[in-house]
Amino acid sequence: MTENVGRHALPPERIVRLRPSIQQAAWWQRIPASGPLVFGLISGILLGFGSEWWLSAALLALGLTAATRRWWLIGLVLLAGGVGYVREQSWEHAPDPLARYVGGTLTLSGHWDGQFLSLQDPAAKVALSPKPPGPPGELRVTGVLVKPPGVRIPGGFDYAFWLRAQGVHELLAGAAVKSSVPEGGVRGWFRRGLAAGLGTQQAALMTAVELGDKNAISNETFDNGNADADSVQAAFTRAGLAHLMALSGQNVALLTGVLALLFIRTPLGRIGLARYPVMIVLLGAFLWLVGPSPSITRAVLMGAAVLAGQWFGRGRLDVYGVLALTALVGLAAQPAWLFDVGFVLSYLAVLGLTLSNWAAGRLPPSWPEWIRFPLVATVLAEAATLPVVAGSFHQLPLTGLPANLLAEGVMAALVPLGFLAGLLGPLGFMPNLLNAWLLSALLWIAHTFGQAPVLSWGQIGTAGFAAYAVFAAAGVLWLTRRVRLWALALTALLCMLGTALPARLQAPREVVYLDVGQGDSTLIRAGALRMLIDGGGTPRGDYDVGAKTVVPALHALGVNALDVVVATHADADHIEGLVSVLKLLPVGELWIGQRKTGEPLLSELIDVAGLKHIPVREVRRGDGVQSGDISLTVLWPKGAPWSRSVMVVKQLSPALTGSV
């Protein structure tokens, strides 16, 4: 006769009696209590922020409460909403100890963690521009304290708001390092181990993978070409592998799995149930080591909850309940995380992964599990995060699936071995003998798949998110075998038509002036014509305004190709950005005025046009282009034109000049 073992064991007859009730429970009976509470908290945060979406979150919280029929939750939902509102207001109106110094030239001393400079007196954090090239440590820097810029272009990155979400109010511009002391202690030891015996590019990637620190990798390129178009970081993004350099649940899952194996396969297992609190403490130490970013904090909280459930004999926990609970704790502590893209992507990816068993069941049963589950996990994670990725980054990698399938195999070995190298400090060169091969393989995957084209995407509005929600619901119903495939296909078709047709039926007719700082950049959309006049530039800096400002703005506006690019004259603040525009977008023709010798930027622009097989036209007065009932003409310089058109722009009559 088999006896029950452990203080939480149940009698066999009780186990048999409980299983049918769990299997037969309706979906509304499986809604965790933390679900309505987290949406109540979110509604309060959105209300405090002034977002109109607060009502939707509140209705969802009350709807989930009604579905569970746990009416006692209503009071807790309202309380959670109040907590969310108060916490958001306290964050939004937090005192700024450096406000009185804005506009002044300051010398600051503090700890540089690779992202922000932390001061002790007053207690505050400051962003530095440019970022110091060296490793984290104690810094003494001089610069001008300014308020960071917000959104200046369509689809632009709201740097000021992002810094506020990190608790940073000011930026030290023109930061010049006066003195620095590399970081010591445990973190310094760990960083030295990560880089021991590795080349510069490999060490930079190792630091990004293990610590989420992308400062070094952002300066690495695959060749001596353009640093933005051919950078390692850009290649990872184009290949759909950017998430590998952002700490997430993958790192926690792999490290926790290795710890579990050590406790099972080695004498360490003799400590019995005590292994669970030990692993929880080690997860907390890992969070301290890498820093509490939204995605890694979510992963550590979920890992700790699962381990605690095992410790107390609760067995496998409800993943939706744990997700909601960790979101509740995280947002109550840091309400600004609700607006962090990494936080949102982290939860959406996990929600997608919860359907892995259903999706794997849709594949042929003859396929081995080591193929089915990695495949469906990659597809589900990408599908769940698709609208946020497309709306935030305005592009979708077309090779993400094969690239991720290959990269995940490399990461499964690299993450634990890299962590081991960090623990060994200067002796980390030993595991790095193998890690060097793994890092080279990861770089090859990113470089190879990063050369493929990406699908550009514009801004996503309410209708777009609603259409995706309808499609996602149909997809879940198909996976769980509640609807047939034709219904899913029909839903997808209707959603695509509903969001794509309006823009096709009424083409925009507009002139958009892009804020590129000094210089000009103007987009003209007239019927089917898409023309860009100049692309801005930074004559006294290395910021690529074309790749980082103009192209993202064009993607956000839904412009994925240009018919005509016009370089009015050879000044850097007008045409420097056009070099990256020609590299990153399909372009029909490049128009220039007088072709002059001794103009390096103009020569580079023409050379890029030649490499991309873009025709170059030297236009003169009278040259132009026609699109429907709208036409554009060139007024200067004089000379023999290559085409003849009478240029009058209907309902559109600005004079577009170069420098006057």
Amino acid 550: pLDDT: 82
217-270, pLDDT tens digit by residue?
Answer: 888 887 644 434 468 888 898 898 988 888 888 888 888 888 888 888 888 777
pLDDT tens digits, one per residue of 476-519? 999 988 889 999 899 989 888 877 766 666 667 788 888 777 77
Of 325, 354, 350, 327, nearest in space to 340 by CA: 327
What's the chain's length in residues? 660
Q: Mind listing the pLDDT tens digit for each residue in 286-301?
A: 999 988 888 888 889 8
Beta strands in 508-601 (DSSP E): 509-513, 522-526, 529-533, 562-567, 587-592
152 vs 410, more confident: 410
Q: How far apart are CA 539 and CA 570, in angstroms?
A: 12
Backbone φ and ψ of 395, nearest 5°: -160, 150
Burial class (CB in 10 A: 0-12, 13-18, 19+), 403: buried
Q: How far apart are CA 306 and CA 300, in angstroms?
A: 10
Closest of 487, 485, 475, 486 to residue 359, by C-alpha: 475
- Under 8 Å between Cβ of 595 and 618: yes
- SS3 category, 481: coil
Q: State the chain's maximal CA–CA distance in angstroms.
A: 103
The tokens describing 20, both together, are: 């049918």
Question: Residue 223 and residue 221: Cα distance in Å, rounded?
Answer: 5
Answer yes or no: are the C-beta atoms of 608 and 582 closer than 8 Å: yes
Residue 23: exposure state from Cβ atoms within 10 A (0-12, 13-18, ≥19):
exposed
For residue 633, pLDDT beyond 90:
no
State which H helix or E strand residue 513 sits in: strand 509-513
Q: Between 34-49 and 319-333, two packed helices, what is the crossing angle to 10 degrees?
A: 30
pLDDT score recorded for residue 653: 45
Strand ranges for 25-136 from DSSP E: 105-112, 117-119, 124-129
Beta-bridge mates of residue 180: 139
Closest among 525, 534, 553 to 458, alpha carbons compared? 553
Higher pLDDT pick, 136 / 458: 136
CA separation for the pair 358, 120 (Å, rounded): 52
The residue assigned the tokens 């409800």 is 318
What is the tens place of the pLDDT at every residue in 163-222? 888 888 998 988 889 998 888 889 999 999 999 999 999 999 999 999 988 888 888 887
Residue type at 454? V
Most confident of 233-237, 367-371, 470-474, 555-559: 470-474
Please enumerate in sequence order all residues whose Cβ is within 8 A of that of 409, keeping only pairs 6 or more positions apart, or say none. none
Q: What is the mean pLDDT of the chain?
A: 82
Report the candidate in 76, 74, 162 with the shortest Cα–Cα distance to residue 125: 162
* Alpha-carbon dihedral sign for residues 101, 106, 111, 116: positive
**CA–CA distance, 632 with 627 (Å, rounded to integer):** 9
Quick one: pLDDT at residue 175?
87
Q: Can you name the residues that pair with 129 across neighbouring β-strands?
A: 173
Q: How confident is the model at residue 79 (pLDDT cuts 50, 70, 90)?
A: very high
- The 3-state DSSP class for residue 434 equals helix
- The answer on pLDDT for 649 being more than 60 is no
Give the pLDDT mean for 459-473: 85
Nearest residue to 166 via CA among 118, 221, 131: 118
Per-residue confidence (pLDDT) for residue 281, from 0 to 100: 92
Buried b (16+ CB within 10 A) or exposed e, 259-270: bbeebeeeeeee
Of the spans 434-443, 507-516, 535-544, 620-629, which averages the highest pLDDT? 434-443
* Chain-centre distance for alpha carbon 530: 29
pLDDT for the residue 448: 92
pLDDT at 6: 42
Q: How confident is the model at residue 1 (pLDDT cuts 50, 70, 90)?
A: very low
| pLDDT greater than 60 at residue 3 | no
pLDDT tens per residue across span 369-401: 888 888 999 999 989 998 888 888 877 888 888
The one-character DSSP state at 147 is P
Q: In 3D, which of 94, 65, 97, 91 has the Cα closest to residue 78?
A: 65
CA distance 97 to 576: 39
Most confident of 346-350, 387-391, 629-633: 346-350
Rounded to whole angstroms, how far apart are CA atoms 392 and 218? 19
The tokens for 64 are 């989930």
* CB-CB contact of 57 with 43 (8 Å): yes
639: its two tokens:
């000379």
> Is residue 527 predicted with pLDDT exceeding 80?
no
Per-residue pLDDT for 11 more than 80? no
> For 312-461, where are the alpha helices, taking DSSP H only?
319-333, 341-353, 356-361, 369-393, 400-424, 429-449
Task: Say if residues 30 and 22 touch (Cβ distance below 8 Å).
Answer: no
Q: pLDDT for 415-452, tens place per residue?
A: 999 999 999 999 999 999 999 999 999 999 999 998 88
Residue 16 to residue 455: CA distance in whole angstroms: 52
Q: What angle do CA 245, 249, 252 make, to 5 degrees?
A: 95
Please tell me the least confidently modeled range out of 23-27, 44-48, 346-350, 390-394: 23-27
The set of residues, in sequence order, having a beta carbon less than 8 Å from that of 591 and lying 6+ positions away, is 564, 565, 566, 567, 617, 619, 623, 634
DSSP letters for 88-110: HHHHHT---TTGGGTTSEEEEEE
User: Helical H runs in 456-569?
Assistant: 462-479, 485-505, 545, 551-556
